[in-house]
């Protein structure tokens, strides 16, 4: 029996096409990597996601300003107290 050829423009058979690999879950239809760790998935979906990046930048700026204030007061706090 002769082997039949794949349909034209079907691509290789060793990967799942993008339109079938999409997930309708919380990652908004992004490709799902089955070997991705929980930490890298958290970073991708919560930290570096384009829709959450402005809020994350605000949080980092606020924490940085808070820590800088603590360092300044501990280092030069005696200059703020009147003699």
Cβ(26)–Cβ(20) below 8 Å: no
Residue with tokens 């890298």: 40
In a domain? residue 66: yes
Tokens of 65: 């300003």
The predicted pLDDT at position 38 comes to 92
Q: How many domains does the chain have?
A: 1
Nearest-angstrom CA–CA distance, 60 and 64: 6
Tokens of 28: 């908004």
In a domain? residue 7: no
* Tens-binned pLDDT, residue by residue, of the chain (83 aa): 566 777 777 766 666 555 555 544 555 555 678 899 999 999 999 999 999 999 999 999 999 999 999 999 999 999 988 87
In a domain? residue 58: yes
The predicted pLDDT at position 30 comes to 58
Residues 6 or more apart from 59 whose CB is under 8 A from it? Answer: none
In a domain? residue 30: no
In a domain? residue 60: yes
The predicted pLDDT at position 20 comes to 53
In a domain? residue 11: no
Tell me the residue range of the domain where 62 lies: 53-78
The predicted pLDDT at position 6 comes to 73
């Amino acid at each position: 029996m002769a082997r039949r050829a794949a349909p034209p423009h079907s691509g290789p058979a060793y990967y799942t096409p993008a339109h079938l690999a999409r997930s309708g879950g919380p990652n908004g239809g992004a490709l799902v990597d089955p070997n991705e760790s929980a930490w890298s998935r958290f970073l991708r979906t919560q930290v570096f996601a384009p829709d959450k990046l402005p809020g994350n930048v605000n949080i980092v700026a606020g924490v940085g300003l808070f820590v800088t204030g603590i360092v300044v007061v501990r280092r030069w706090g005696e200059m703020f107290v009147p003699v």
